[in-house]
Chains A and B, each alone.
Chain A
Amino acid sequence: MFKLLVVEDEEKTAAYLKKGLSENDFVVDTCRDGTEALYLAGESAYSLVILDVLLPGRDGWSVVSELRRAGNQVPVLFLSALGSVADRVKGLGLGADDYLIKPFSFAELLARIRSILRRGPARQAEVIRISDLEIDLPRFKTRRAGQRIDLTPKEFQLLALLARQPGEVLSRTIIAERVWDMNFDSDTNVVDVHIRRLRSKVDDPFGTRLIQTVRGLGYVLEER
């Protein structure tokens, strides 16, 4: 169970973050200004601090510097409407672990939080099994129900991306970014076509679907 601290002065944002994160099995504390955030971070051990930059009183920049100065290495994820590269670089330079620009997609926030929390000891399994699907990452081999499936390198990458985070919804933007390196507002409908192709090889011949569409959010690999 991960405990998160959300520092956000905008009430609505704080409320939906708390709700969304709690429903994704995180324990969430919220507070509305930097001074309180420093106090709370000193009191209890959080797994991650989600920090707005523009806060009343003490801003997010100074909260991070103060945390680091005090030797607190809690991971920090900035959420900010300040979207320039300079701001990003500043945030990461101060010791934050990630920087997300508003407006952001909640699915992406979740993905990034999980990616920060996963960093460190957890090692990726070499062969991932989901239901009767077996993905051998180092050998680039895929089998389902004992049958070999031939995938192109990109199809394999796409499947591996979904398989590495089973049960986690990945947005089209993240998929385009991670698999095809399309780091921008690319035409995300194209992702659907890729998924369709992958399904025709991985799902269609086997009756049950493993690649699920989550309407409005993206795709997830899981047995239902």
Chain B
Amino acid sequence: MPTHRLLVLPHRPLSVAGRLMAWHACATFALAIAVSLILYEGLSRELRQATDGLLLERIEVLRALVREGPSAQRDLEWEVESEWEWLEHHQIFLRILDDRRNVVLETGELASLLPVGLFPMSAGPAAPLRGLRIDSPSGRDFQVMAAEVPGPGGEGRWVIQAAFDLANEGNVLRDFKLLLALVVGAAALASMVLGFRITRSGLRPLAEIVDTTRRIRSSTLSERIRLPNLPPELASLADNFNDMLSRLEESFDRLSRFSADIAHELRTPLNNLRGEAEVALGRPRTPEEYRDILVSSLEEYADLSRTIDRLLFIAQAERSTAPIHVERVNVCAELRGVVDFYEPALAEKRLDLQVSCGDGSLWLEADRELFRRALGNLVANALAFTQGGGSIALDAEQRNGTVRVQVRDTGIGIAPEHLPHVLDRFYRVEQTRTKHSGGTGLGLSIVKAVMDLHGGSVQIASQPGSGTCVTLVFPNLTKS
């Protein structure tokens, strides 16, 4: 059961706004995190280099003092032991080792915080000095550096060890991290809110389009999406939608016009029948009178049947459901066959008739009966609309892979304003229904339907007062 299927609702997809917002927020979040990581990394590298610089500077000072030997002993002591007191917040610790790696001098707590062995061995005097981060047993973090320097007076190889307490830097970095986290969070939040707003306002035209479309009913097909300044993507959507509406409206119009036409076409003969019958029964009449009435009704019935048949044929052709039986048709033979039928009527009206179709070797892939039908309708029209003494010409020729069959007359012609409509159902140049000239107003529609079924076309050229020329263009089906 299809209803069961409907009940199994698929997972409801996220709205476009929600989706855009989510992606937007994700992207912003990722970007903020990436930027934060880079900033954080940069800052910590910067700090490390600055610390290295500080340590190097201290080492250079000590190196000079060590080299000077005993004369600089006081300065050295001052530098190593007392400096930390006022530079406490710098937290630089120093230690000097002699040739035999005995401690000569060291900053107060250093012995307990960082034993000698924790320092890296210097690679040699030529190696560039670089700080190393280590955890001291005390639990505090240090950046340490060691340098081999010439002893007093350039004798022997002493070692200078320098350490920098990273507690402060840690604090700075921790604060920075916190700040970054805040910034990332705020950015994500802001991007969600902004993204929501932006997508909402970006999608507002879409919502308006949806509103407009929702309002459209079969009775309001003339409505169009008229929104100024639509973004190009939506503008093309709206254009396509409007085009579709135009087509719908057109076919709807055609349909309702068609129904109205049918009603009208059927109403007139029905009305005649009814009226005649009522009048006939109004008083007793002679058998002869009754017979006249019956004959007249019979004519109306025949008209009605014909109209219905034609309409059905046209309707089928329009839906391309009319079956067509294509065979090889000799164009000349069919032309002559149709002309044979109309010839006496033409002669009676003193119409000159010319048929030219080459040497009879022109063949066409078509439905023979439909071909004759189209041709018959055209000749009947020419016959009806050409005054006595005029002429009718039938031509057939092959041109550019098509077979063209032309019916020309020197009749009353069709005014330019009617020309585009003469192929429409029930379109009559004269608005009144006249038996001799107009027929049912379906003849040319049938011709067009026949040509549509063959994938061909009808061309009409006309000059009021001097004649009409109808050309049937058949594609040559043999080629395809």
Say whether A154 contacts B299, CB under 8 Å: no
B373 within 8 A of A: yes
Given A215-B295, A217-B298: A183 touches B372 (CB 8 Å cut-off): yes
Rounded to whole angstroms, the CA-CA distance of A84 and B376 in the bound complex is: 22
Contact indicator B340/A197 (Cβ below 8 Å): no
The complex places the Cα of A105 from the Cα of B342 at a distance, in Å, of 23
Closest residue of chain A to B308, judged by CB? A103
> How far, in Å, is A214 (CB) from chain B's closest CB?
10
Give the chain B neighbours of A197 by CB distance below 8 A. Answer: 344
Nearest opposing residue in chain A for B374, CB measure: A184
- The verdict on A83 contacting B344 (CB below 8 Å), with A183-B369, A185-B306, A186-B380 known, is no
Interface residue ranges of A62-89 to B (CB < 8 Å):
83-86
Q: Does B302 contact A (CB under 8 A)?
A: yes
Besides A183-B373, A186-B341, A217-B298, 19 other CB < 8 A contacts?
Answer: A84-B316, A85-B323, A182-B372, A183-B369, A183-B372, A184-B372, A184-B376, A185-B310, A186-B376, A187-B342, A187-B345, A187-B380, A187-B383, A190-B342, A190-B380, A193-B345, A193-B348, A194-B344, A216-B296
Task: Flag if B345 contacts A189 (CB, 8 Å).
Answer: yes
**Partner pick for B345 among A85, A105, A190, A217, CB 8 A cutoff:** A190
- A200-224 residues with Cβ-Cβ distance < 8 A to B are 215-217
Q: Whole-angstrom distance between the alpha carbons of A84 and B315 in the complex?
A: 12
Q: For the complex, count residues of B whose C-beta is within 8 A of A.
A: 32
Specify which chain A residues have a CB less than 8 angstroms from the CB of B341 in the assembled complex.
Answer: 176, 180, 182, 186, 190
Identify 14 residue pairs between A and B in the complex whose beta-carbon atoms are under 8 Å apart, listed by A's number: A84-B316, A103-B301, A103-B304, A105-B302, A180-B338, A181-B337, A182-B338, A184-B369, A187-B345, A190-B341, A190-B380, A193-B345, A216-B295, A216-B299
- Considering the chains assembled together, what is the distance between the CA atoms of A196 and B310 in angstroms? 28
| A window 10-26: CB within 8 A of B | none
Query: Considering residues B340, B344, B383, which has the most beta carbons from chain A within 10 angstroms of its beta carbon?
Result: B344
* CB of A101 to closest CB in B, whole Å: 8
The contact of B309 among A180, A185, A196, by CB within 8 Å, is A185
By beta carbon, the residue of chain B nearest A184 is B373
Choose among A83, A186, A196 the residue that contacts B312 (Cβ–Cβ < 8 A).
Answer: A83
CB of B305 closer than 8 Å to a CB of A: yes
Report the tally of A-B residue pairs with Cβ distances under 8 A: 61
Q: How many angstroms between the C-alpha atoms of A86 and B380 in the bound complex?
A: 30
B294 at the interface (CB under 8 A from A): yes
Q: 7 closest pairs, A vs B, by CB?
A: A216-B295, A216-B298, A180-B341, A193-B344, A187-B380, A193-B345, A184-B373
Task: Give the shortest distance, in Å, between A115 (CB) and chain B (any CB).
Answer: 20
Q: Which of A185, A193, A217 has the most CB of B within 10 A?
A: A185
Report the Cα distance A196→B345, complex, angstroms: 10
User: Which residues of chain B (305-354) have a CB below 8 Å from chain A?
Assistant: 305-306, 308-310, 312, 316, 323, 337-338, 340-342, 344-345, 348
**B296 to chain A: which residues have CB within 8 Å?**
216
Bound complex: CA A180 to CA B341 (Å): 6
Nearest chain B CB to A183 CB, angstrom units: 5
CA distance A190 to B349 in the complex (A): 12
Q: Are A180 and B337 in contact (CB under 8 A)?
A: yes
Min distance, Cβ A111 to any Cβ of chain B, angstroms: 16
- Residue interface bits B50-68, CB-to-A below 8 A is 1, else 0: 0000000000000000000
The answer to whether A190 and B302 touch across the interface, beta carbons within 8 angstroms, is: no
- Cβ of B34 to closest chain A Cβ, rounded Å: 70
Complex Cα distance, B310 from A84, in Å, reads: 13
Which single residue of chain A is at the shortest CB-CB distance from B373?
A184
Nearest chain B residue, comparing its CB with the CB of A152: B340
- Cβ of B291 < 8 Å from any Cβ of A? yes
Complex contacts, A103 vs chain B, CB 8 Å: 301, 304-305, 308
- Tell me, in angstroms, the Cα distance from A53 to B418 when the chains sit together: 44
Contact residues, A26-71 vs B (CB, 8 A)? none
A83 to B322, CA, bound (A): 11
Closest to B348 in A: A193
1/0 per residue, CB under 8 A from B, across A161-196: the answer is 000000000000000100011111111011001101
A190, B344: Cβ atoms under 8 Å?
yes
Measured between C-beta atoms, what is the minimum distance from A166 to chain B in Å?
23
Q: Which residue from chain B places its CB closest to the CB of A103 in the assembled complex?
A: B305
CA distance A84 to B309 in the complex (A): 11
- Give the contacting residue for B340; candidates A105, A180, A196; CB below 8 A: A180
* A215 near B291: Cβ-Cβ < 8 Å: yes
Q: CA–CA, A44 to B360, complex, Å?
A: 56
Which of chain A's residues have a CB closer than 8 A to the CB of B299? Answer: 216
B-chain residues with CB within 8 Å of residue A215 when the two chains form the complex:
291, 295
Contact call B291/A154, Cβ cutoff below 8 A = no
